[in-house]
Structure 1
Amino acid sequence: MRGRWTLAILGIVLIVAGGLLAFVTQTAGGIKIQDIRFKGAKGNTMSALLYIPPNATPQIPAPGILAVHGYINSRETQDGFAIEFARRGYVVLALDQTGHGYSDPPSFANGFGGPDGLAYLRSLDIVDKDNIGLEGHSMGGWTVLAAAAAMPNDYKSMVLEGSSTGKPFAAEGTPSWPRNVALVFAQYEEFSTLMWGVELARDVTQSPKLWELYGTKGAVEPGKVYGDPAAGTARVLYTPAMTHPAEHISHEAIGYSLDWFARTLKGGTPRTVDDQIWFRKEIGTLIALIGFVALVIGMFDGLLEAPMFSRLRLPAIADGTMPPHEAASGRRWTAALILSAFIPALTYYPAFALGGTFVTPSAFLPQGITNQILVWAIINGLITLALMRLAPKRASRAGLIGQSVIIAVASVAVGYAALWLADLAFEIDFRFWIIALKLMSAKQFLIFLIYLIPFTAFFVVALHVLHRNFSTLGAPRGVLYLTNILALTLGFIVLLVLQYGTLWLTGKLFNPIPDPGFVPLSTIVAIQFVPLLAIVAVIATFTWRRTGSSLPGALIAGLFVTWYVVAGTATQVPF
């Protein structure tokens, strides 16, 4: 029995070790982090992380920076920037946009929350109000531009990462507004048409819209400072060789912002741009995320020994309660793998288009991206049901529903408690890059309940057929895990390789749709499908090998994925 708890213990060790590494990194040099809530101008609740360096006191205020994430991200996504800003003596307010993280919905409201964030930062007595910088990635750039438009004399400089002035969501840039702008726009940006009206991101220097901002009549030269920092008219362009989401996790992109604020803000603690430690936190929270998965399946394994789950356990001997297992073989196995892997990828863009068009956010279904994923799940669930008769037939074990529900809820609840404790002790979520598992707010929990049943129903169907096609008790463990992981993720891996290969070779994604934002955003969302579905495959395979049933793994997957999606995306309507 002691061996059954090994994975759970390992999960706890990984969470503590990863949490400690992340905490030590983000508090290096005496930095303090506060999880804060404050009221916006319209009475809405805003959420942020406040990074306070030791040099910031009421007697000697320090420069301040408002740092804002992009669409369907949250305040922790900017932690690389926030950590390095704070290490240089800046007070940093890492904001949750409206409708994101723990800030009240709807998203896009109140200038994305930018004016409220800047007003709060300026209200702190430890902040030098004459030296405030604004930094935002993607839609976070529009957030800080909204703050700059509302309070044009209350900041000194800004950095736009993968963002733009002007339409669709900001005021037009001029040689004098906004003040002292550094633009980091990558050579493989997915949103070049939406942001700057150029088909290829590497041609952003030729954008007439950019010329208006820089006050030029020809190509903007990357790295050259235009205008005068003292007059607030300085501009500079950086074009690193990376993609839009890569700017979150890039020493180079973060280095450009450090250099610009060192030039345009007074005060702080001088450090070279190469002196960066933030990636250690990414490693720490990744270790904690792996620990979470180990803890959940380890708790399942340990709880399975309890007498109340005796019927659920896989019989150790052939006593007649375990039906024999036959999986697909030969060409039938190959066909099953191809269909399992590629139908979800082939239906991905059409399902997202249908969801975005016909299942718009409402009081009942308040999250746009979640609705699109839901439509994808429904379509693929129906396709799987139609193809189920082609899978090898297998007798099922009866009387397992109640026990499966209880053990699934208990296993995920322990994982949730672990995240709550990690947040309490280390001020972290479980993440790497844009893959993030966050605690839910009270409103998000209610939204979670709305989406839980349809997402769980999808996994019940999909994982049932997965195991009928590929899982047998006699299959080698490693082979079975790899097969099921590939069956769920290979199509998305190929989709992303093709899209980003096309971007690398041609400078743009394959996008036959006139909408300049749909395919880029959907493609970036698809990146998360690979690790998320890989985790689902691991959970599903582990629980099936212990029970011979697909149901417990499907219920855990439904709980986990619904939680992940709802807590990590935007809510577009008041809720």
Structure 2
Amino acid sequence: MKSQTKRTAKIWLCISIALMFISMIGASVVQTNFGDVTIKQLSIETDAGFMMDADLYIPSNATTETPAPGIVTSHGNYNNKEMQDANFVELARRGFVVLAIDQPNHGNSEWIASNDNTEVAIGIYQGAIILSRLPYVDADKIGVTGHSMGGNSCNYAIQAETENGTHYIASVLLNCADAFYTDDDGNFFNIYGDRDVGILSVVYDEFLHYVYGEGERPEKFAPYFMNTDKAQSFLNFGADPSNPGFETREADTVYYADIEGGEDVMRVIYRLNIIHPWAHFSARATEDVIDYFTESLGAPNPIDSSNQIWQWKEAFNFVGLVGMAMFLMSFAVLLLFTPTFEELRAGEVVAPMPAPADAKGKLWFWGSLAVGAIFATVIYLPVVSIGHRTTVFLQPQSFGIALWSLCCGLFTILSMFIYYKTYGKAHGLDLADRGVKMPVKKLLKSVLLAVIVASVTYTWVFVADYFFKTDFRLWTLAVKTFEADKIGVALWPYLWMFLVFYIASSVSVNAFNYNEIGGKKGYGNVIINALFVAFPAIVLPAMQYIYYFATDEMLFWGASDRLHMWTLWLFPITVILITATLINRVVYKVSKNPYIAGIALGIVITLMTCTNTRIFNF
């Protein structure tokens, strides 16, 4: 057992490292367009007085002799600059200089006082100023685009230009964001002047393009947007739809007019049959971004918009994500064969317990899994909403998820306690034999091993960033680097709340529910456990979107409690919970110790959570 397990772990460790290097190299090659685009990681003191983190993409055609159009890209709320990878890869590939920014209080940009989006969504204007000062950027051809809150940042940039008397921005594309349609008195107007402007509007947007009546809940959601006066006024350059002779206009058609001295000024609304976050990950959305800026600013290196390579970057990034998970498992197993930690290793590979022989035992197995899954599902939205309304901590959104995790972890512990007292103990469940009870010295060594595993595993993300300017991610599931301030944020209270859940989950999955139900080799058992652990993350989004697609209305929606936002956050959590269950099982089979993987995962996932979101600096 010893030699074979160690040999297998070495092989998987080598494979995991190879996968991460394939990811780093492959993603780097794609985002540099095979060496044609230079990437600079910047930390810039802005004119507004805060440090802004940004990545600058400079194609070889952009020189002081032949300056190229420049474009600022921005993420939305609770995200970071890397979420714009489809846009910066494809735009830089077509010869645009691209500045991908972290908004204040996001990513590695500086924290500023903030209570709402208006205060933090100021990065676009600062980005446009920065681009205008670069000698290889055509200062007359600067465009801006942002997703969601990033789109709002584009609007605030136009406001800032009006207030400051500047005109850096020539073109605006609002991605999953509303335009400014009316003035303070509610009259339709054209705030954008002679700038080209487009809206990338998704049919099933969860946050924008509503039609409100007298109540708090919208009368109509985004599927009806094109029929609204706001959309029609926008396409008519701010004209009032009640005016005689007003022209009704269509989506996906570019309209031109001569406005305030500007000739052939553009307005267009693109409509995509997708949801809000999918605009990050859509070939069609990326195609519209390319077409818009090619038409508006002119691409120095025209390439058909359907010719896209960013998907390869995402694929390589995902390979790195897989490699990182494999590294955590295999590295933990190999450390169990070192002299320092060998006492934590089981004498032989841990086999599943026999399946419960009686009906009561089977009922306990299935019943406890089902009750735990239902409990986690029922409490998710209200608990996350309560957490988000808490202003004591810097990341209310992380606190909401952590509070839910804590509640689920405590419920799991209570469930295991009741099971042990009423059935398990009388039917041979030995907590010491299953690794739940152990000497303090052994427990402390388990903690040390877990911290080492988590630290070394996360170090690979810094290697990717430092040497290749990449990270590991897939859509909204991301692992990125962080600065020292995030460690302090993560330590209290989020780490301890996540640890309760991931340790309790590991103990439950392995010490209590690892049996021959699902097959004598245990493969089916781990799938059963994984699906029940991830049940709320699978079911709640399914309920939301099946209902939305069928009725054009959202099932979970709230003006203040943001239920539609919390539902979205479950997409990456689904993958995390399933993967965590698998990692827990692999490490447990070698160690008969449910704490090692539980602690390591708690640390890594806390860092992921606190790095990929927003700071509220109340």
Pair in the same fold by TM > 0.5 = yes
Matches within 5 A, 1:389-538: 389-391=417-419, 392-393=424-425, 394-396=430-432, 397-399=437-439, 400-450=442-492, 451-472=494-515, 475-511=520-556, 513-515=558-560, 518-538=562-582
SS in 2 for 1:55: coil
| Distance change >3 Å, CA 232–CA 436, structure 1 → 2 | farther
Residue in 1 that maps onto 2:192 = 177
Instruction: Say whether residues 1:384 and 2:390 are aligned partners.
Output: no
Tell me which residue corresponds to 1:209: 230
Structure 2 residue 171 is the aligned partner of structure 1 residue 126: no
Structure 1, unpaired ranges of 5+ = none
Distance change (3 Å), C-alpha of 1:480 and 1:149: same
The match for 2:24 among 19, 22, 42 is: 19
User: Per the alignment, do residues 390 and 468 of structure 1 end up closer, same or farther by CA in structure 2, a change over 3 Å counting?
Assistant: farther
Superposed CA deviations along residues 190-239 of structure 1, whole A, max 9, x for unmatched, are: 11356986622121012233334333527541022234274474211111
Partner letter of residue 123 of structure 1?
Answer: R
> What's the secondary structure of 1:307's corresponding residue?
coil
- For normalisation by structure 1, the TM-score amounts to 0.92
Shift of 1:501: 0.9
How far apart, in 2, do the equivalents of 1:553 and 1:27 lie? 37
Alignment of structure 1 residues 150-165 onto 2, 5 Å: 150-152=160-162, 153-165=167-179
Taking a change above 3 Å as real, the CA distance of residues 384 and 42 of structure 1, as seen in their structure-2 partners, is same
Structure 1 counterpart of 2:341: 309
Q: Residue type matched to 1:228 in 2?
A: A
Instruction: Identify if the C-alpha distance between structure 1 residues 89 and 185 changes in structure 2 by more than 3 Å, giving closer, same or farther.
Output: same
Amino acid at match of 2:168: D
Contact 2:181 2:233 in 1 (8 A): no
Q: Which moved more, 1:233-242 or 1:210-219?
A: 210-219
| Structure-2 separation of matches of 1:381 and 1:406 | 22
1:165-210 Cα deviation digits (max 9, x unpaired): 2499999973352621111111111113569866221210122333
Q: Does 1:190 align with 2:206?
A: yes
Tell which deviates more after alignment, 521-530 or 484-493.
484-493
Larger Rg: 2
Q: CA RMSD in A?
A: 2.7
Alignment length (residue pairs): 566
Output the amino acid matched with 2:178: S
Residue in structure 1 matched with residue 156 of structure 2 by the alignment: 146
Following TM superposition, by how much is the alpha carbon of 1:503 offset from its aligned partner in structure 2, in angstroms? 1.5
CA 1:445–1:170: 2 relative to 1, 3 Å:
farther
SS of 2:174's partner is strand
Looking at structure 1, the residues matched to 348 and 120 of structure 2 have their Cα atoms a distance apart, in angstroms, of: 61
Q: Distance in 2 between matches of 1:421 and 1:311?
A: 31
Verify the 8 A CA contact 2:181 2:230 in the aligned structure 1. no
1:66–1:135 contact (8 Å) kept in structure 2: yes
After TM superposition, give the deviation of residue 295 of structure 1 in Å: 0.7
SS in 1 for 2:569: helix
| Cα 1:288–1:228 shift into 2, 3 Å | same
Q: Kindly tell me: are residues 47 and 169 of structure 1, through their superposed partners in 2, closer, same or farther at Cα, counting changes over 3 Å? A: farther
Following superposition, the deviation at residue 317 of structure 1 comes to 9.0
CA distance in 2, matches of 1:117, 1:337: 50
Cα distance between partner residues in 2 of 1:434 and 1:324: 37
* Segment drifting more, 34-43 vs 62-71: 34-43
Instruction: Label 1:70 to 1:110 Cα distance change in 2 as closer, same or farther (>3 A).
Output: closer
The alpha-carbon deviation at position 283 of structure 1 amounts to 0.1
Does the CA contact (< 8 Å) of 1:177 and 1:233 recur in 2? no
Partner of 2:381: 349
List aligned pairs for 1:210-289, cutoff 5 A.
Answer: 210-214=231-235, 215=238, 217=241, 220-228=249-257, 230-231=262-263, 233-266=265-298, 268-289=300-321
Distance in 1 (CA, whole Å) between partners of 2:83 and 2:605 is: 19
Post-superposition CA distance 1:96-127 (Å, at most 9, x none): 11111111124643543222222112121111
Whole-Å separation in 2 of the counterparts to 1:323 and 1:435: 32
Q: 409-418 or 473-482, which moves further after superposition?
A: 473-482
**2 CA distance for matches of 1:171 and 1:368?**
34
Match of 1:70 in 2: 76
CA contact (8 A) 1:223 1:237 kept: yes
Look up the match of 1:292: 324
Are the equivalent residues in 2 in contact too, given 1:18–1:285 (CA < 8 A)?
Answer: yes
SS at match of 2:172: strand
Which deviates the most, 301-310 or 171-180? 171-180
Q: For 1:77-92, list aligned pairs within 5 A.
A: 77-92=83-98
Secondary structure of the corresponding residue to residue 39 of structure 2: strand
Deviation at 1:498, TM superposition (A): 1.4
Distance 1:17 1:136, change over 3 A: same
**Contact (CA 8 Å) 2:388, 2:400: kept in 1 or not?**
yes
> In the alignment, is residue 10 of structure 1 matched against residue 15 of structure 2?
yes
Letter in 2 for 1:287: V
Amino acid corresponding to residue 378 of structure 1 in structure 2: L
Q: How far apart, in 1, do the equivalents of 2:475 and 2:289 lie?
A: 18
Deviation at 1:424, TM superposition (A): 1.8
Q: Does 1:369 align with 2:397?
A: yes
- Is the CA contact 1:190–1:508 (under 8 Å) kept in the aligned structure 2? no
Provide closer, same or farther for how the CA distance between residues 489 and 117 of structure 1 changes in structure 2, counting only shifts above 3 A.
Answer: same
Q: Is the 8 A contact 1:300 1:411 kept in 2?
A: yes
Please report how far the alpha carbon of residue 245 of structure 1 lies from its aligned counterpart in structure 2 after TM superposition.
0.7
